[in-house]
Structure 1
Amino acid sequence: MHQTDICILGAGPAGATAALHLANKGISSLLLDKAAFPRDKVCGDALSGKVVNELRRIAPELPALLGQQQEALPSWGIHFISPGGHRLSVPFKYNYKPAQDTPAGYISKRIHFDNFLVEQVRQRPEINFRENVDVAKYERTPEGGFILSDKQGQPLVQAKLLLVANGAQSGFTRHVAGLEQEPEHYCAGLRAYYKGVESMDGDGFIELHFFRDFLPGYFWIFPLPNGQANVGVGMLSSAVSSKKVNLKKEMLRMIASHPELQRRFAKAELVDDIRGFGLPLGSRKRVISGDNYMLLGDAGALIDPFTGEGISNAMISGRWAAAQAEKCLAEQNFSAQFMQGYDKAVYNRLWKELKLSRQMQKLLNYPWLFDKVASKASRNQALAETISCMFNDLDLRERLRQPSFYAKLLFN
């Protein structure tokens, strides 16, 4: 049985980021994943400017290194298409110049991006990375910490501190940390890869379509390298249940029947299975640590409730988990009370953003208002620029929660 101070479960963006930050501090860790890399992960595949910033925090050269990958397509923003068909375009970077500026974001299949991070992991002697290790049981030790075992009950690892980054379906999250899936704070999604979708944005803008007959869900099209696109749908699990929605049927219906999609998908070809996944949303605060453990990324339910973005928040949680782990080792204190420093750091960084996104998610209950905002912004450059700035500036974005903002829009 391997003994270690720090064991990280899951080598996705959260776990790999934590391991790399620990390595930068000269701290060794054991990183386990049940798969062998490269491996696929069902996701929207969009990497926002926050992801680029987190890469830079790991190592200044990483954003440029990602940009050199053939599998990464530069992306400059988001198109929101309202229920009435009005387009609201929000650049990741105001006044961007694609020919001169470093891309604000990218779109890359998770099989490639996660492997990109894992390749950085493999280069670090401080990280003991082991693949094809499926941890099934977690047992507390009398002196504190955990013994991890496989499905047969064979002990694999004894660790003082666990960084749990093994995704939305984490058994540890449910059975040890006691975080349940809540339909009001959980999104069901489907993803498919197509080739030959027409009229993709030349600057790699991702598209979020809010069709009136699919609210409160959304349909997305994200361009990918080599003429492919990530196409999918997402809807709150509570709505899927109450409306008895078959997401796959609805996705194919929209492609076949909505005039704009019908035109763009006329010559498109499905190149992979339509696959489902779950998104635990960060739309309410949770306790994401306890005695001898921290929950990272999807395992800690940190996904943006409006856009569905989870990769950047996972990497942010990985960075703060590494900082907390360093303190734990220095103090030899792994108590739940001491671990609260991690919760505070994560929510100090993310909660304002998550709370605002929750409010914007509720805007979908008022499609006429969404239409009004998008319609005016599509005709008014100054308003479009204001809203673009709001998405990139949290203090400005607060205005989106204020009734006075919409009153001015409606009556001016």
Structure 2
Amino acid sequence: MQHHKICILGAGPGGATAALHLANKGIPCVLIDKAVFPRDKVCGDALSGKVVNELKRINPELPGMLSQTEDQLPSWGIHFISPAGHKLSVPFKHNYDPAQDTPSGYISKRVDFDNFLIEQVRQRPEITLLEGIDIAKVEKTGQGYTLTDKSSKHQFTTSLLIVANGAHSAFARQEAGIKQEAEHYCAGLRAYYKNVAGLDQDNFIELHFLKDFLPGYFWIFPLPGGYANVGVGMLSETVSQKRVNLKKEMLRMIETHPEFRQRFAGAELMGDIKGYGLPLGSKKRVISGDNYMLVGDAASLIDPFTGEGISNAMISGRWAATQAELCLQQQNFSASFMQDYDKAVYNRLWKELKLSRHMQRLLNYPWLFNQVASKASKNKALAETISCMFTDLDLRERLKQPSFYLKLLFN
């Protein structure tokens, strides 16, 4: 039996970030994961500018350290390809110069990025990292929680539990009451291919919205060493209603779509096609309670439009560390006191999550998507305005307004 004031369950980006921020505050914690790192995690592998900003908050030197590793590629933007085939290119930074500018985003396999964070964790004496321990039972006590692993060899008690063990967190379902709702959940597949042709020279990631696969999308993300992360995503609600076989559809698009058939002609599938679930942040939830906080995918914070989850996991991990410090200072671990954590997370994320939900719904109107992409592909000023919308939330509010589309259609 070990007692720790703070126990973090799950050492992915959310859990590792919480632990590192606690260490920066001089607060010890135990970080537990059932895997032994490095370990793979099914993901799109894209690291946005928000991830870079969160790395800076942990340590200003981390983005530079990441850029020096061989396991990443700098990425300068996103290509959105409409159902009619119009390409809307959204750079992460205006008038960027790859030769001189610091990249706003990266692409790195999760096995490498998560291990990059864990290497930072290993260097901190304030963090006790325990790998290969699968917690099977979490029980509420008068003073917090007791955690027991599958073998019953390890048992921990904690005053504060930070739950960061992913989309399939048993705690989130059973203790926190987070339900899996098909309209707020996305099913995804990921595969690694080698030698996909036609990848962007500046490593723009590609999101293809094909007319016979809406409201789902197909992605291609370039990776180091000639690899690409290739996958599909679709709302679970649609998968169920239309009885979509995602793997069959993904392979069909690769084999028969005119562009993909050509680009994948000399490509090789490396390993298996793997599936995963994405609990979307398209609905506000209660993400804390007596003696606990939910972080990242366990808190259902994935962006509904882009499917990005890493940055939001890191943001919630940072706020969990801030709240944990207050809890220790005031010796208050009650649900009412913990509500400040929920407020902080949603104050930072809800506006963009809500806007992404609106953008997700645009996929129900492919003709409108085609019109926007078509006009933007021919109008540099419009393309730059839409590009700004992805980084400026006030501008992005326009996407909710019918007048924005009326001007596009009739000007």
TM-score range, shorter chain: over 0.9
* Aligned match of 1:39: 39
Q: Is 1:132 matched with 2:132?
A: yes
- Counterpart residue number, 2:224: 225
The number of aligned residues is 411
Q: Which residue of 2 aligns with 1:207?
A: 206
Deviation at 1:155, TM superposition (A): 5.5
Which residue in the other structure is 2:322 paired with?
A: 323
Match of 2:54 in 1: 54
Shift of 1:49: 0.3
User: Which whole-Å CA distance do the structure 1 matches of 2:197 and 2:232 have between them?
Assistant: 18
The match for 2:89 is 89
Residue by residue over 1:73-111, the C-alpha shift from the partner in whole angstroms, topping out at 9 and shown as x without a partner, is 000110000000000011111221111100110000000
Structure 1 match to 2:282: 283
Give the drift of 1:151. 2.6
1:18 is aligned to 18
Aligned residue number for residue 302 of structure 1: 301
After TM superposition, where is structure 1 displaced by more than 3 Å over at least 4 residues in a row?
A: 152-155
Question: Aligned equivalents of 2:148 and 2:71: distance in 1?
Answer: 36
d(CA) in 2 for partners of 1:25, 1:318:
14
What amino acid does structure 1 have at the position aligned with 2:289?
A: G
Residues 7-406 of structure 1: pairs in structure 2 closer than 5 A: 7-142=7-142, 144-153=143-152, 156-406=155-405
Cα separation, 2, equivalents of 1:272 and 1:395: 43
C-alpha offsets along residues 307-365 of structure 1, whole Å, 9 cap, x if unaligned?
00000000000000000000000000000000001000000000000000000000000
Q: For 2:154 and 2:384, locate their aligned partners in 1 and report how far apart those are by CA, in whole Å.
A: 57
Q: Deviations over 1:242-261 (max 9, x none)?
A: 00000000000000110000
Structure 2: 5+ residue stretches without partners: none
Q: CA 1:155 to 1:129, structure 2 compared with 1: closer, same or farther past 3 Å?
A: closer
* SS of residue matched to 1:35: coil
Structure 2 vs 1, CA of residues 248 and 92 (structure 1 numbering), >3 Å: closer, same or farther? same
Q: CA deviation at 1:152?
A: 4.8
Q: Which residue type is aligned with residue 70 of structure 2?
A: Q
SS of equivalent to 1:219: strand
**CA shift for structure 1 position 184:** 0.3
SS across alignment from 2:306 = coil
Inter-partner Cα distance in structure 1 for 2:320 and 2:271: 35
Shift in Å, 1:396:
0.3
CA shift at 1:150, angstroms? 1.9
**Partners of 2:113 and 2:17 in 1: how far apart?**
12
Q: In the aligned structure 2, how far is the partner of 1:84 from the partner of 1:384?
A: 17
Amino acid at match of 1:284: K
Q: Write out per-residue CA displacement over residues 41-74 of structure 1, whole angstroms, 9 at most, x where no aligned residue.
A: 0000000000000000000000000000101100
Q: How far 1:172 moved relative to its partner?
A: 0.4
Q: Deviations over 1:10-49 (max 9, x none)?
A: 0000000000000000000000000000000000000000
Q: CA deviation at 1:154?
A: 5.2
**TM-score, with length taken from structure 1:** 0.99
Identity %: 75
- Where 1:198 maps in the other structure, the secondary structure is coil
**Distance in 2 of aligned mates of 1:337 and 1:77:** 41
The letter of the residue matching 2:357 is R
In 2, Cα distance between the equivalents of 1:337 and 1:199?
53
Residues 194 and 268, structure 1, Cα contact 8 Å, conserved in 2: yes
- Provide TM-score, normalisation by structure 2: 0.99
For residue 300 of structure 1, what is the amino acid of its counterpart?
A
Give the letter aligned to residue 61 of structure 2: E
Amino acid in the other structure paired with 1:42: V
Query: Which amino acid in the other structure matches residue 28 of structure 1?
Result: P
Q: Displacement, 1:140?
A: 1.1
Separation in structure 2 between the aligned mates of residue 350 and residue 93 of structure 1, nearest angstrom:
21
**DSSP 3-state at the match of 2:271:** coil
Matching residue's letter, 2:117: L
Cα distance in 2 for partners of 1:7, 1:210 equals: 42
Unaligned runs of 5+ in 1: none
One-letter amino acid of the counterpart of residue 192, structure 2: Y
1:83·1:212 contact (CA, 8 Å) conserved in 2? Answer: yes
C-alpha separation in 2, matches of 1:258 and 1:187: 23
Contact persistence 1:54–1:316 (CA under 8 A) = yes
Check whether the contact 1:147–1:155 (CA below 8 A) recurs between aligned residues. no
